[in-house]
């Protein structure tokens, strides 16, 4: 009888660790291997652009589990070595050190990496903010109070700008949108965030595209921009690129797995060939929106890790579909903005309670007459109640909330 190869999880991430733990908690007692390209065991990523970057937390505090937990979990750790190829016919993962790891079931949880700009590679003073090491390098740079240009008005860019201002750095934030997070939270909340950044001394350039980097002697000295055909140069001692992330799927090229914007799974997170995906790398057919989704949120990674573990034990024929109400939060200048659902994309924003200008409010995003997201700041109990409308894809009836 051929011995079981067990379950292999590629990606020592929150999704990967959760899948491994959920398998054990559900009674799986076979071989279990966790592969990660970073030398560190799994750590929490949201604090990377918040508490770690600000210097409020040491790096050790981000570790998701103490070292002894992996012995208790009875998991074989292969850290500091990336997966380089996959043979779905032989059921083997090839690692960068030339070794092969066989599997019966495979979980792909390799996450995503930060995008950069052309010409940014190897230029001193240019940073991205995705990993723990990224944050430590940027934190060291910020200690010198540089002129910092932040490229991108998403969560990473906005949070890093907030931290940099708290460290008394000169900060310019450049976004192609009308305001930071404008495509995520709608115009009212985005205007509030823009005012918040300006009040704290951030030079905010909106509707502006960064076209290139200025360099001298191998080091960044600024960026070039274009705003409605008007070109400018902005000087900088350091540049942070917060221009999105790219799913880590290159190692799967030629494997036969369906790849697009991530590993393309069905609604159960199954990609075929005894392969499942979870976390930032997973693209799945969402039954509620009717579209293919890939979500880069911490809570989604945990939920999908648990779901994949349950479906591995059930088997593809009995696997259940994955449904979620995505959740993300952002800490800026001591305030926390929370979002439930899919606020990105077209729609209308309706303020339910409070006033965004007062930094205390709840609101819903409505698309085609139905509630697709709820967001708020400083009114968390009220926001939790609105989450139910998102989960139900409720028809928007404002009078029912005020009667």
What are the structure tokens assigned to 318, written together?
Answer: 């009995």
Q: How far apart are CA 341 and CA 328, in angstroms?
A: 9
Mean pLDDT, rounded, of the chain? 94
What are the structure tokens assigned to 56, written together?
Answer: 């409020």
Torsion of CA 63, 333, 54, 184, to 10 degrees: 50
Tell me phi and psi for residue 96, to 5 degrees: -65, -20
Average pLDDT of span 125-153: 97
Beta strands 170-174; 147-151: pairing state: parallel
Average pLDDT of span 82-101: 97
What are the structure tokens assigned to 28, written together?
Answer: 């799986």
What are the structure tokens assigned to 311, written together?
Answer: 């479906």
Average pLDDT of span 250-275: 97
Please state the length of the chain: 403
Confidence of residue 397 (pLDDT cuts 50, 70, 90): confident
Torsion of CA 281, 286, 291, 294, to 10 degrees: -20
- Is residue 261 predicted with pLDDT exceeding 90? yes
- CB within 8 A of 131, min separation 6: which ones? 38, 48
Radius of gyration of the chain (CA): 22
- Is residue 110 predicted with pLDDT exceeding 70? yes
* 370: three-class secondary structure by DSSP: strand
- Chain position carrying tokens 């600000």: 54
- Is residue 290 predicted with pLDDT exceeding 90? no
pLDDT of residue 1: 32
Beta strands 282-285; 262-265: pairing state: parallel
* 172: three-class secondary structure by DSSP: strand
pLDDT of residue 402: 44
- CB within 8 A of 230, min separation 6: which ones? none
**Distances from the Cα of 167 to the Cαs of 153, 191, 200, in angstroms?**
19, 24, 12
- Is residue 122 predicted with pLDDT exceeding 70? yes
The answer to whether the CB of 239 falls within 8 A of the CB of 149 is yes
**Distances from the Cα of 288 to the Cαs of 14, 148, 356, in angstroms?**
25, 41, 29
| CA angle, residues 241, 244, 246, in degrees to nearest 5 | 115
Model confidence over 145-196: pLDDT tens digits?
A: 999 999 999 999 999 999 999 999 999 999 999 999 988 888 888 999 999 9
24-32 contacts, C-beta under 8 A, 24 or more apart? 24/73, 24/74, 26/309, 26/310, 26/313, 27/313, 28/309, 28/312, 28/313, 30/4, 30/6, 30/104, 31/4, 31/5, 31/6, 31/7, 31/76, 32/6, 32/7, 32/73, 32/74, 32/75, 32/76
Tell me phi and psi for residue 215, to 5 degrees: -135, 160
pLDDT of residue 2: 47
The DSSP H or E segment spanning 86 is: strand 83-87
The answer to whether the CB of 258 falls within 8 A of the CB of 252 is no
Given CA atoms 348, 375, 139, 112 in this order, what sign does their dihedral have? negative
Exposure letters 212-247 (e unless 16+ CB within 10 A, then b): ebbbeeeebbbbebeeeeeeeebebbbbbbbbebeb
Model confidence over 199-235: pLDDT tens digits?
A: 999 999 999 999 999 999 999 999 999 999 999 999 9
pLDDT of residue 403: 40
The answer to whether the CB of 363 falls within 8 A of the CB of 356 is yes
Given CA atoms 182, 396, 294, 259 in this order, what sign does their dihedral have? negative
Q: How far apart are CA 62 and CA 213, in angstroms?
A: 32
Q: Which of 116-130, 165-179, 334-348 has the lowest mean pLDDT?
A: 334-348
Residue 310: burial class (beta carbons within 10 Å; 0-12, 13-18, 19+): middle
pTM attached to this predicted model: 0.94
The answer to whether the CB of 377 falls within 8 A of the CB of 361 is yes
Q: Which residues pair with 365 in a beta bridge?
A: 349, 373
**What's 3-44 look like in SS3?**
CCCCEEEECCCHHHHHHHHHHHHCCCCCCEEEEECCCCCCEC
* 280: three-class secondary structure by DSSP: helix
């Amino acid at each position: 009888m051929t011995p079981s190869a067990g379950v292999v999880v590629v990606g020592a991430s929150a999704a990967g660790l959760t899948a491994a733990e959920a398998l054990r908690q559900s009674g799986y007692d076979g071989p279990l291997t966790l592969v990660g390209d970073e030398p560190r065991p799994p750590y929490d990523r949201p604090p990377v652009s918040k508490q770690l970057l600000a210097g409020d937390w040491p790096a050790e505090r981000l570790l998701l589990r103490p070292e002894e937990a992996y012995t208790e979990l009875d998991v074989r750790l292969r850290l500091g070595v990336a997966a380089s190829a996959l043979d779905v016919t032989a059921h083997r993962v090839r690692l960068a050190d030339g070794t092969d790891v066989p599997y019966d079931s495979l979980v792909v949880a390799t996450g995503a990496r930060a995008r950069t700009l052309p010409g940014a590679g190897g230029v001193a003073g240019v940073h991205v903010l995705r990993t723990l090491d990224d944050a430590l390098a940027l934190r060291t740079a910020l200690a010198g109070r540089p002129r910092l240009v932040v490229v991108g008005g998403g969560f990473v860019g906005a949070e890093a700008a907030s931290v940099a201002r708290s460290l008394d750095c000169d900060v310019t934030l450049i976004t192609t949108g009308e305001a930071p997070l404008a495509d995520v939270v709608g115009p009212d909340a985005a205007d509030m965030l823009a005012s918040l950044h300006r009040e704290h001394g951030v030079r905010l350039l909106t509707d502006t595209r960064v076209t290139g980097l200025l360099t001298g002697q191998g080091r960044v000295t600024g960026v070039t921009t274009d705003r409605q055909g008007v070109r400018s140069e902005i000087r900088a001692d350091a540049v942070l690129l917060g221009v999105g992330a790219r799913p880590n799927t290159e190692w799967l090229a030629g494997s036969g797995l369906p790849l697009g914007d991530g590993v393309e799974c069905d609604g159960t997170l199954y990609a075929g060939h005894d392969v499942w995906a979870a976390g930032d790398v997973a693209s799945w057919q969402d039954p509620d929106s009717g579209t293919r989704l890939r979500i880069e949120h911490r809570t989604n990674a945990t939920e999908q890790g648990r779901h994949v573990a349950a479906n591995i034990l059930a088997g593809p024929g009995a696997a259940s579909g994955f449904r979620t109400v995505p959740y993300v939060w952002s800490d800026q200048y001591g305030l926390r903005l929370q979002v439930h659902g899919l606020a990105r994309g077209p729609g209308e924003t309706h303020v339910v309670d409070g006033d965004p200008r007062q930094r205390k409010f709840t609101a819903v995003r409505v698309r085609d007459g139905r509630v697709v997201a709820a967001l708020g700041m400083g009114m968390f109990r009220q926001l939790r109640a609105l989450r139910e409308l998102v989960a139900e894809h409720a028809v928007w009836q404002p009078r029912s909330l005020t009667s």
